[in-house]
Chains A and B, each alone.
Chain A
Amino acid sequence: MGPTDEDMAEIVARLRSSLGLRGKAMVKPIEKGALLKFCAAVGETEPLHLDETYAQSRGYRGLVAPPTYLSVFSEACGEVLCRDIPFTRFLHTDDAITAHVPICAGDIITATPLLADVFAKRSSRGTLLFQAADIALTNQHGELAASLRVTTAFHE
């Protein structure tokens, strides 16, 4: 037997009282070698992501990180998602990125997570408890380079 609707409403209300709470930041340098390895793994062929001299000739500080490289910061969501719930299994349901300033090799990115949303929804898998984290990615100049929203559904 899973949690009743009243149990779920109570869990959602408890978790929502933490909305906006920030978790511990993760700091990660953007390394050229790591970007090249990532490009090879996803089949990237765009020269801005692979050729440093070309990227600099187009006005970038260094190799431009491919759009989904920002996934390396998604684990920061673990700092704000609440695990004190009756479910241990989860599905990764949505990812969304808003880019503001290109992230390039040589940057040092600080990823600060925040609990952005909590809600419950019925589905064929039973009730799903969704938790979304917003992760702000700030570069070494203090600019908000991008934000990343990761949504996870916990279930029985």
Chain B
Amino acid sequence: MTRIANLALVRPDDNLPTIRRHVERLDLVRYAGASDDYVHLHWDLPRVQAEGFPDVLIHGWLTFSWMCRTVSAWAPREIAEPLEYSVRYLLPMFPGIVDCGGEVTFVETVAERRIVHLAIWAKDGEGNVSTRGTMRLGAVQGN
């Protein structure tokens, strides 16, 4: 895994390493408990199947968490802090393969602070982009 040492080294079009996860229903139950999110779509299999879904849906915020992890696995939190981050959920995601990655879209220096803009995404096992996001990272003071 490539971890960068300093945001000053980052250039537009740099790719973040893609991280693949094999997601199980247990991961969703664990997240439901840790986030106090008990929306039935994420755990009540008979009910979601009756509603026409093939399986329980991955929490949008859990996918977003994995997308953020892709960023911090590349730019460690002690050198880069997320200032603005957002996602749009395009398709429901289900347990199975989830890939998360991203790329640098723009870099700038604002008030002597390095700022890096990223496009981030999550894909299912068939390569469909389920979630798209953006993040603005700022260099942590002293780095």
Contacts and interface: CB of A to CB of B under 8 A. Distances in A.
Main SS at interface, chain A: mixed
Interface stretch (B10-18, B59-67, B111-119): B59-67
Contacts of B72: 46
Interface stretch (A63-71, A104-112, A114-122): A63-71
A92 B60 contact: yes
Max count, chain A CB within 10 A of own CB: residue among B65, B69, B89: B65
Contact of A94 (B81, B84, B89): B89
Contact of B68 (A58, A67, A102): A67
Contact of B76 (A38, A43, A46, A68): A46
B83 A68 contact: no
Given A43-B66, A46-B72, A92-B60, A67 B33 contact: no
Nearest to A43: B69
A68 B122 CA distance: 15
Interface size class of chain B, counting residues whose CB lies under 8 Å from the partner chain: 20 to 34
A92 B131 CA distance: 12
Contact of A97 (B62, B84, B88): B84
B85 interface: yes
Contact of B60 (A67, A95, A96): A95
B35 interface: yes
6 contacts: A41-B31, A41-B62, A48-B78, A68-B68, A93-B89, A95-B60
Ranked 8 nearest A-B pairs via Cβ: A96-B86, A41-B34, A42-B65, A71-B61, A46-B77, A68-B65, A38-B34, A41-B31
Given A68-B68, A94-B87, 20 more contacts: A37-B33, A38-B34, A38-B35, A40-B30, A40-B34, A41-B35, A42-B69, A43-B69, A46-B76, A46-B77, A58-B78, A66-B68, A67-B65, A72-B35, A92-B60, A93-B89, A94-B88, A95-B60, A95-B86, A97-B82
Interface of B: 21, 27, 30-31, 33-37, 60-62, 64-66, 68-69, 72-73, 76-78, 81-89
